[in-house]
Chain A
């Protein structure tokens, strides 16, 4: 590298970090060891596993049809027959919540996949290539910051039109700036390391450097952001469906179920209570796991 200051800084940080240099595989093993010692993270992981199992085994652990209406059974309170009661269309709420977990988990995973694909790619390019491309990408990130929370998703849905799939795209795109920022910051830090300089010196092509040498080293923070991102995406997706801008009836989607129950607060509290509990438990378990991962991957953060 021709820039002497750059290499000096790289040498500097290399000598500082000497005490922390360990075989490559042990970072993740150490993190895993710290993770299993964190009771919150373990509880989150166990809950999440149960939820994923419930989503997969939905037909085997429920007795009713999630969408078929049964007029004679409307608004039944919780009982041995209907564990969590029935909705205004006579559908079993427990069944709908179990099937709804498929939609919410899919919502969380697909949105985060979109967000990280866009954001991490953008961040890698901005951080590694720099220059005008960096400015352009970061300006775009700045603009999206003027639409916090669910607002950017609303703008995107206004253009794409309301639907469950568009909600996933909208939530994914609106979360991507965070990934871009985190990735770019990490790339800039990693780029100054000696091993990157060596890779450049022996003539590695940029794509190889990015994929083989930079990406694996910055994966930790991205995994943390993505895990917590799944939780956020599930809430945003449910919110959009609640507003009528996501899933459409009769889909057993948790946000939509809450919206269905709004007019029955007086007569049937169970319709609005249980789908909400399902959202809280799901999001809480992912947040617990995400917080645990953050502490495990960054021991300096632990207090």
Chain B
């Protein structure tokens, strides 16, 4: 099977899952206790007529399947409804916050990749030495540390004590450094553990012995033969990492009081802004599915041994 056919097929499989997600997200509105129209009216205590009017305007008086189809129709046209809390289009609010979350996720992905790969490779090469023990101990502490605590400690040392960076907000590199570090350091710990074990496995393969036996310089053996193969599982995890970073962004954005999708999500839940919750859930799920697709495809490209089934 060719790469294109594999990609097309993989895309086709994604569609039913995406549809299932829209059904789930749609049904959140029905599952949430309370009437969305009442939440929308909020404090302005309403007459039954007004409530009926709002319900009608929101389309809540139509049969469920019609409501779902019009919801789906809306999604396909980029209409995710109006926030019950701010009364603004959900998609516009998401798009306004997206760049901030994206810059946070990408910069921490960069940090975690560099640090994770370097730490993992070094510990594998220095297997069973103090270098290995120290970096793996660090990585274990890293995976045991909650991101909100690391964030608070970074603020304490670098903003409150040293005054190097502003403690909160968004925009500009100086406000990005600490949140990106908090998020990136922690996911680098997971990655380092994985790269190390994958590298150790590869280093014991026959082709590494062959490469050494034919007189290749150690550097070439490590980089061209070992690292390339060791990174294959790491790429899959990188995809998962990105999802993890989006989920970590929920907490990091709250710690650093940054505008972003994560903080929007938490606030939407606290405000019972169900349309916003729905919109964000959908956007996050879809983007993660797209990332997983890309990861799967790049996985196949990195490892020619993988035949698309």
A residues whose Cβ falls under 8 Å from a Cβ of B: 139, 142-143, 145-151, 154-155, 157-159, 161-162, 231, 235, 238-239, 242-245, 255, 258, 261-262, 265-266, 269, 272-273, 275-276, 279-280, 283-284, 287-288, 291, 303
Contacts and interface: CB of A to CB of B under 8 A. Distances in A.
A65 to B, nearest CB: 25
B250 A151 contact: yes
Looking at A147, A255, A279, the one whose CB has the most chain B CB atoms below 10 A away is: A147
A235 B146 contact: yes
A77 to B, nearest CB: 15
Contacts of A265: 152, 155-156, 160, 167
Contact of B285 (A147, A243, A262): A147
Contact of B149 (A147, A154, A258, A269): A258
B146 A146 contact: no
6 contacts: A143-B17, A143-B20, A146-B289, A242-B254, A265-B156, A279-B146
**Would you call the interface of chain B mostly helix, strand, loop, or mixed?**
helix
A148 B146 contact: no
A280 B144 CA distance: 6
B141 interface: yes
A280 B244 CA distance: 19
A150 B250 contact: yes
Given A145-B292, A239-B146, A243-B266, A161 B33 contact: yes
Interface in B4-20: 16-17, 20
A154 B33 CA distance: 16
A155 B28 contact: yes
A38 B207 CA distance: 32
Interface stretch (B35-43, B75-83, B224-232, B269-277): B269-277
Given A149-B248, A243-B254, A157 B269 contact: yes
Which of A162, A235, A245 has the most C-beta atoms of chain B within 10 angstroms of its own C-beta?
Answer: A235
Contacts of B156: 265, 269, 272-273
Contacts of B240: 148
B266 A279 contact: no
B39 to A, nearest CB: 13
Contact of B152 (A145, A272, A303): A272
B32 A148 contact: no
Contacts of B274: 158
Q: Is the interface of A mostly helix, strand, loop or mixed?
A: helix
A275 B167 CA distance: 20
B254 A147 contact: no
Contacts of A147: 247, 281, 284-285, 288
A123 B129 CA distance: 40
A148 B200 contact: no
A278 B180 CA distance: 24
Contact of B21 (A146, A151, A231): A146
A269 B246 CA distance: 28
Nearest to A145: B292
Nearest to A149: B247
Interface size band for B:
35 or more
Contacts of A266: 160
Given A146-B286, A158-B274, 7 more contacts: A146-B284, A149-B243, A154-B269, A244-B266, A245-B266, A255-B146, A279-B145
A145 B243 CA distance: 9
A262 B254 CA distance: 11
Nearest to A154: B265
A302 B200 CA distance: 11
A111 to B, nearest CB: 15
B246 A143 contact: no
A87 to B, nearest CB: 14
Interface string B121-145: 0000001000000000000110111
A245 B269 contact: yes
B188 to A, nearest CB: 16
A239 B148 contact: yes
B173 interface: no
Nearest to B247: A149
A142 B17 contact: yes
A224 to B, nearest CB: 15
B153 interface: yes
B251 interface: yes
A166 B8 CA distance: 40
Closest 9 CB pairs of A and B: A149-B247, A148-B243, A276-B149, A284-B144, A283-B144, A146-B285, A151-B247, A158-B277, A158-B269
A148 B140 contact: no
A146 B288 contact: yes
A283 B144 CA distance: 5
User: Of A157, A161, A243, which is in contact with the most chain B CB atoms at under 10 Å from its CB?
Assistant: A243
B24 interface: yes
B28 A242 contact: no
A255 B243 contact: no
A279 B145 CA distance: 7
